Amino acid sequence: MSTLSFDLIEEILCRLPVKSLIQFQSVCKSWKLLISDDPKFVKKHLQISLSCPVQSRHHLIVNSTGKVGYWNSPISSIFNTMSNAIITQTKLSYPLSLNSISFKVVGSCHGIVCGSIPHYVLFWNPSIQKLKISPNLYAYVCNTMYGFGYDRYNDNYKVVAISCYDSGKTKVNVHTMGTNCWRRIQEFPSGVVPVGESGKFVGGTVNWLASENGVELNSSSLCIVSLDLGNESYQKILQPDYGDVNVVSLTLGELRDCLCIFARGKSFVDVWLMKEYGKKESWNKLFTIPFIEDIGCSKVAYIYEDEQVLLVSRAKDMLKPKLVVYDSKRDTFKLPEIENINNWMVPTVYVESLITTCS
């Protein structure tokens, strides 16, 4: 009976889910070294995870404030469940003995979930339960906004911290995962202050919504500021032409590895996608999400097969946000329930990977 070559074994292993690979490390020393210590294998596994069907490797991680706990489930379980069905989750081992209220998710990239706690940033890979904590950022408190992503030119992961002061000035620091320091870089563009949520990672850049006058937050005063993680330079990204639509508010996002904008009107949310990064003419309106009173305002978290969309919604009378699946082709909604989540939830989508946070 012939044996398989090691090259063929490697080809088979790199197509397996992380849970199986962790178990297979105990088969023999060569498998353990390949799975845990071979950077080429880790990258190949990541590329396959990113390109394979979403139902097999993409997960939704949810935390609930008031509870120290995180749960996750395959993203497919959210979309394939019946309306109002309860989704069973797998509890993750929380990496630190911290109150979950203090942990704010910045973003995820290549399986690493980046989050902030006062004065520190955490890099956590839930798939392999590896954690890295940054050096102390500041000894004093100020309003700080973050962004996290992959620098493809230097092959490393960076988190950006923008400290905003009442004077309108900013200080920007960058920490490269695996190093022991923060570096000061060029300030945010003059007269522009980031607002809203953490920056969104797209194609080697981190992007924030920003106020051009530093005070007003209406759509006409907002712009998009991008930071290239490779050369650490800024540029402004032009918004789409919204036409005659009365845009009440804007939210920045990332869908299908593209920059997107959620333009909310009084009775709808238009979802815009920038197909070619940096080119205004490539903005394309994907669909419009109608306003349903029982569901309320919606934010798109993920696009699944056949234009099914995962929304995070909250109506005025809701005590907590809800997950909503919207079928944009059929114009239908369903509201799955997540097991164990009874308080305010913060959902984040991540992909399985073997990327270690310690390098």
Chain segment 222-236, per-residue pLDDT in tens = 889 999 999 999 999
**CATH numbers and ranges of domains, the chain:** 38-351 (2.120.10.80)
- Name the residue with higher pLDDT: 325 or 45: 45
Residue 172's pLDDT is 92
Q: Please, which contacts does 263-267 make with residues 24 or more away whose CB atoms are closer than 8 Å?
A: 263/219, 264/297, 266/291, 267/291
Look at residue 100 and tell me whether its pLDDT is greater than 50: yes
Digit-coded pLDDT (tens) for 131-160? 888 988 874 557 888 999 999 999 999 999
What mean pLDDT do residues 275-295 have? 86
pTM: 0.86
Tokens at 93, concatenated = 């081992």
Q: Minimum mean pLDDT among 185-199, 256-270, 314-328: which range?
A: 314-328
Question: In what order do the strands lie in the sheet containing 249-255?
Answer: 249-255, 258-264, 268-274, 283-290
Confidence label for 93 from pLDDT (cuts 50, 70 and 90): low
Residue 274's pLDDT is 95
What mean pLDDT do residues 318-343 have? 72
Look at residue 86 and tell me whether its pLDDT is greater than 70: no
Q: Minimum mean pLDDT among 49-53, 60-64, 333-337: which range?
A: 60-64
- Name the residue with higher pLDDT: 181 or 51: 181
Cβ partners under 8 Å of residue 23, min gap 6: none
- Name the residue with higher pLDDT: 75 or 178: 178
User: Percentage of residues in the chain with pLDDT exceeding 90?
Assistant: 29
Confidence label for 68 from pLDDT (cuts 50, 70 and 90): very low
